[in-house]
């Protein structure tokens, strides 16, 4: 006798673990977010116009390690979480050899800049706070925008960077370095000789060389110039680290402490950590740790045009300026103020992306009111999940009228 083929929900249940079935079918089972005390799943994908099958297929690939060492995937639409999944890994075993071998990603062997130390990476001392790496740069841009909105950061973006330095103590000084502005730092067009396209485990990568020193700011500002500022995209962690120093010189305030009061607290972000350099400067280029659901709030703040629960956090002008393409970047991206901007679709639209080493991603698709967050720690085999999101998930995202969004 021929067996009756299982129903779609039954096939799905056979493929997926209990927590994910909850998210996709809307059953009364306990979801993963609720079991760890995080924000619960608010809606099923179907309720917000998202096909469940592509999401389930991507989840199955992540769970089976087709994409290596992905730690989490969260999907939010209209301010509601429709999918939230963790993929645990034993990083102490995965990177045991590297953790005890001195190299570009482990210059000091111990402590917060050993990128293979499971006490520090990818999670902060066993918490849910995950390293953001260069997503920290995007958050730094947001903090500067808030300070400008509040009138605390008064200097125009045309201000020369050397305005904040004693030129007598800066090496490789020339006319081009004198023309380098704050806007050039924000848009990764500083003109400094800085090739961060090298792998991060390459001993010549200037980001690694910077992190091996005590005085990161001096290391960066002393670099020779290569290009005219404002003309050539050259991704530079050093450029963003200068912004931490400049923020304090301009406002008189520590950028992390300012963020605590004016960004994290208003958004209800209470669990975070931010590393500092050996001299105590906030590591704005890559030192922030956030929970995945809190990173999604940063995307939602921008999606809500800088408003949070009816209160203005960032000016609409800063949001618009930050997300305006300023220069062509790598991999088909354009670049704004510490935001990667990915053209997609026909006619072309822009997705907003914050991207960090090892697979940290915040993706915002404004026309679809869609936010995707992923965290990972494949630092020796970098991959870009955003292209799979565009190719696999977006075709299953259908027109939907959002009600009032969370945070708006």
Question: What are the residue ranges spanned by the domains of the chain?
Answer: 1-27+50-61+77-85, 123-350
pLDDT at 5: 31
Sign of the Cα torsion 61, 29, 38, 323 reads: positive
CA 403 to chain centre: 27
CA 88 to chain centre: 20
- Give how far Cα 297 sits from Cα of 80, 81, 208, 306, Å: 11, 11, 30, 11
pLDDT at 382: 74
pLDDT tens sequence across 51-72: 999 999 999 999 998 888 999 9
Q: What share of the chain is helix, strand, coil (3-state, %, to 5)?
A: 35, 15, 50
How many Å apart are CA 106 and CA 96, to the nearest integer? 12
Q: ∠172-174-175 over CA atoms, to 5°?
A: 160
Backbone phi, psi, residue 225, to 5°: -85, 150
pLDDT at 27: 31
How many Å apart are CA 385 and CA 323, to the nearest integer? 21
pLDDT tens sequence across 205-233: 999 999 999 999 999 999 999 999 999 99
pLDDT at 13: 31
- Give how far Cα 199 sits from Cα of 130, 204, 207, 323, Å: 22, 9, 10, 27
pLDDT tens sequence across 157-172: 999 999 999 999 999 9
Q: Which CATH number fits domain 123-350: 3.40.710.10, 3.30.2040.10, 3.40.50.12280, 3.40.50.300?
A: 3.40.710.10
Q: DSSP letters of 353-381?
A: EEEETTTEEEEEEGGGTEEEEEEE--TTS
Low-confidence ranges of the chain (pLDDT < 70): 1-41, 405-406, 408
How many Å apart are CA 22 and CA 332, to the nearest integer? 36
């Amino acid at each position: 006798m021929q067996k009756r083929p299982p129903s779609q929900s039954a096939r799905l249940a056979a493929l997926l673990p209990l927590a994910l079935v909850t998210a996709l079918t809307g059953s009364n089972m306990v979801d993963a977010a609720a079991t760890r005390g995080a924000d619960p799943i608010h809606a099923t994908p179907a309720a917000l116009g998202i096909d469940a099958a592509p999401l389930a297929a991507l989840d199955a690939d992540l769970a089976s390690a087709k994409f290596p060492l992905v730690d989490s995937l969260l999907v939010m639409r209209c301010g509601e979480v429709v999918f939230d999944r963790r993929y645990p890994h034993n990083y102490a075993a995965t990177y045991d050899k590297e953790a005890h071998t001195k190299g570009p990603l482990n210059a000091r062997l111990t402590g917060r800049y050993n990128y293979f130390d499971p006490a520090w990476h990818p999670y902060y001392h066993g918490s849910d706070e995950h390293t953001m790496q260069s997503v920290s740069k995007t958050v730094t841009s947001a903090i500067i925008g808030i300070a400008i909105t509040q009138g605390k950061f008064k200097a125009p973006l045309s201000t020369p960077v050397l305005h904040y330095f004693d030129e007598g103590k800066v090496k490789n000084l020339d006319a081009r370095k004198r023309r380098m502005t704050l806007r050039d730092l924000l848009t990764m067009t500083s003109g400094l000789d800085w090739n961060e396209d090298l792998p991060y485990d390459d001993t010549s990568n200037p980001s690694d060389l910077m992190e091996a020193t005590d005085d990161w700011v001096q290391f960066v500002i002393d670099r020779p110039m290569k290009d005219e500022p404002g003309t050539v995209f050259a991704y530079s962690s050093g450029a963003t680290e200068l912004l931490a120093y400049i923020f304090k010189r301009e406002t008189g305030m520590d950028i992390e402490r300012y963020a605590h009061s004016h960004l994290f607290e208003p958004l209800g972000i209470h669990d975070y950590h931010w590393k500092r350099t050996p001299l105590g400067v906030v590591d704005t280029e890559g030192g922030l740790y956030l929970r995945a659901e809190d990173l999604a709030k940063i995307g939602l703040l921008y999606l809500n045009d800088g408003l949070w629960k009816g209160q203005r956090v960032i000016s609409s002008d800063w949001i618009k300026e930050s997300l305006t393409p300023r220069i062509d970047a790598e991999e088909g991206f354009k670049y704004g103020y510490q935001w990667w901007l990915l053209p997609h679709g026909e006619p072309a639209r822009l997705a907003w992306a914050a991207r960090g080493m090892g697979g940290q991603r915040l993706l915002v698709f404004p026309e679809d009111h869609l936010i995707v967050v992923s965290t990972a720690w494949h630092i020796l085999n970098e991959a870009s999940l955003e292209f799979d999101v565009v190719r696999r998930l977006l075709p299953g995202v259908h027109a939907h009228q959002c009600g009032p969004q969370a945070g708006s």
